[in-house]
A and B are shown apart, each in its own frame.
Chain A
Amino acid sequence: MEHQPLIQSVSAAEPRAKRGVSPTVRAWLFLTPSMLFLGVLIAASLLVLRMSVGTKGAEWTGFSLASYAQLLEPYYLKSLLLTLRLALISAVVAVLLAIPVAYTMSRLTSPFVRRIFLAAVLLPLLVNLLLQSYGWLVILGPGGMLNQALMGLGLIKRPVMLLYNQNGVLMGLVQTAFPLAVLPIASAMRGVARTYEEAAATLGASRLQVFRQIVLPMSLPGIITGATLVFAYNASSFVVPLLLGGRRVPMLAVMVHDQIAPLMNWPAASAAGVVLIVTTLAIMTLSEYFTGRRRRRMEASQ
């Protein structure tokens, strides 16, 4: 049966109304409650921004850049550099430590071991920062575990001061942000299908070569995400430098708090806060740019 000649539709029915709302509107409707809460974050940033250009005593009405000028003083500048340095080092170390763990996690088969691994990975992130800092106090103290171990191994003669200085803080930073590095890397590695490793093996690559030349490069977006998350999370870290660094490791977040209590200098606190926000956003944007570019290149090649 050949297709029939066109039938002119001469129906006199009126055009029916367009069905429903556009998908964009519907989607954003669903997202509204979440956006409201996230909006609080945005509003908070704006508030802090406004406060940072206020003056002490006339917080909402005054306008002055004195607080920012104050930030350029050596004391604050040191704090900013310290924060960035510690955040960067902790990001690198955390990622290095995360890679083997993430790789193992992504290739595990036994569900029980997987659960233990995941619990062990999640605990540092979720358990009270306070409690973990107490644990660190015990480990890093002069009579603590680490010093005893080092002395026992004969590496040092007298206890090393690990507490209340940058080293202790660094260790705390790495340990608490470690899960933030592991999870995205594990997720990326899981995405590297086993068949790629098998193909490389048939082409003659050793296990180490397969890992370095196939798995790692293909997991790079996850690695970048992990490093970014750790950096941003640690740049604004508060509890760890407070408890493990005492007064000696003034990271930016601690500065912010100090300006509030006891100084009650809201504008100064806000200025420091703004710097924190800007740093975080800059890092996130940069990393998104790089991973996005890479993703597009990889998609184009497929």
Chain B
Amino acid sequence: MTGLILENVEKHYGSACAVKDVNLHLPEGKLVCFLGPSGCGKTTLLRMIAGLETLTGGEIRLDGEDIGHTPAHQRNFGMVFQSLALFPHMTVGENIAYPLKLRGVSKADQQARVVELLQLIQLQEMIDRPVSKLSGGQRQRVAIARAIASRPKILLLDEPLSALDAKLRESMQVEIRQLQQRLNITTIMVTHDQREAMTMADIVVVLGEHRVQQVGTPIEIYRHPANEFVADFIGSGNIFPATALGNGKVGLPGGDALQVPICSSIVVGEKVKMLIRPEDLQLSHPQATAGNRLLGKVTFVRDIGATIETTVECSGVSFTALSTPCQGFGLSIGNPVSVTLPAEACRVLGA
């Protein structure tokens, strides 16, 4: 079986667990994001794949071969560190040529490859510049070029964009994605920024509480979060408690009932957690509660310019709805309003 396979991988530091029960199959040529809050073990996982940490348990296999005991410098994976780790005592060209030098590539071939890579990242004239004289975005690109110089099988990125400011980060996200697709190189990227993961990844692995919470495409994870953790971490969500009433109906704390997609695994009377995304809620002029349209009161309004977030209290739950200015009708705190929760947008978590 090709690709990278992690089987029952776990890592403990003494009695503390960094990550466990990791079972993943990462196919070739895709960009995979390890996404999660800080301390969830995603960087540890990446470093284990790189060979910079040992495994406490489990196996890592590449194309069928167990690489768990191969030292880092023999795995031929490219890696970009969070601090970029460009060698300060070498020029840009020397940095990029370093992996080639180690592999005994002839000087002429080294030069050719360095020029080729610099063209790829559009920094041709920087070849002899010391790395201290580069800007943040330029250093970023040199670090990537250096990592792929030896044509590694896998590219590993450890929060590569965290040191950049917002605007630069967004453009680099696109650049990295385009580069990855162009080279068709299997890439694993660690990030805590879910927008970044959504923008760049083919597959997202959500990590939390030291284990894998869900694996899927960005849209799958957004639309069908496997549990409350994922729902809460990805995008903003309205997560509220409810009681199953049978026949696809759930009861809200305030007493009203909602029609939701039928879920066969839930028994009547069971307490569940529900999710509805703010953009799916529909606000309308106040009318009596009927079906999935609840009557409530505005408790907070936040107008950010491009969108308006309105927090409404109804049936014992606080919902936040997202609307654009043209949809809105000038609500302020205290106004009564009706909130519609379309049935197909309601999701039962953990089912």
A7 contacts the other chain (CB 8 A) = yes
Question: How far is A126 from B135 in the complex, measured between Cα atoms in Å?
Answer: 43
Residue of A nearest to B8 (CB): A6
CB-CB under 8 A from B64, the residues of chain A are 11
Q: Are A3 and B23 in contact (CB under 8 A)?
A: yes
**A3 contact from B59, B69, B71, B215, Cβ within 8 A:** B215
CB-CB under 8 A from B8, the residues of chain A are 6
Q: Are A19 and B25 in contact (CB under 8 A)?
A: no
Contact A6 B23, CB 8 Å, known A1-B203, A19-B69: yes
Dominant SS at the B interface? strand
Q: Are A3 and B66 in contact (CB under 8 A)?
A: no
**B215 contact from A1, A6, A11, Cβ within 8 A:** A1
Q: Are B7 and A6 in contact (CB under 8 A)?
A: yes
Q: Chain B, 274-307, contact with A by CB distance < 8 Å: what is the 0/1 string? A: 0000000000000000000000000000000000
B166 contacts the other chain (CB 8 A) = no
Number of A-B contacts defined by CB within 8 Å: 33
A73 contacts the other chain (CB 8 A) = no
A4 contacts the other chain (CB 8 A) = yes
Interface residues in B134-151 (C-beta closer than 8 Å to A): none
Q: Are B23 and A13 in contact (CB under 8 A)?
A: no
B242 contacts the other chain (CB 8 A) = no
Q: Are A7 and B1 in contact (CB under 8 A)?
A: yes
B92 contacts the other chain (CB 8 A) = no
B342 contacts the other chain (CB 8 A) = no
Q: How far is the CB of B24 from chain A (nearest CB, A)?
A: 6
Question: How far is A2 from B212 in the complex, measured between Cα atoms in Å?
Answer: 11
**A7 contact from B7, B71, B217, Cβ within 8 A:** B7
**B24 contact from A3, A9, A18, A20, Cβ within 8 A:** A3
Question: How far is A6 from B217 in the complex, measured between Cα atoms in Å?
Answer: 20
**B66 contact from A13, A18, A19, Cβ within 8 A:** A13
Q: How far is the CB of B93 from chain A (nearest CB, A)?
A: 32
Q: Chain B, 10-42, contact with A by CB distance < 8 Å: what is the 0/1 string? A: 000000000000011100000000000000000
CB-CB under 8 A from A9, the residues of chain B are 7, 59, 61, 66
When A and B form their complex, which 8 residue pairs have the shortest distance between CB atoms, in order from nearest?
A: A16-B69, A3-B215, A4-B25, A19-B69, A3-B23, A3-B24, A19-B71, A6-B23
15 contacts between A and B (CB under 8 A): A1-B217, A2-B216, A3-B24, A3-B212, A3-B215, A6-B7, A7-B5, A9-B59, A9-B61, A9-B66, A11-B66, A13-B66, A17-B69, A19-B69, A19-B71
Instruction: Using A1-B217, A16-B66 as known contacts, list a sample of 12 further A-B pairs with CB atoms less than 8 Å apart, ordered by residue number in A.
Output: A1-B203, A2-B215, A3-B23, A3-B24, A3-B25, A4-B23, A6-B8, A6-B23, A9-B7, A9-B61, A18-B69, A19-B71
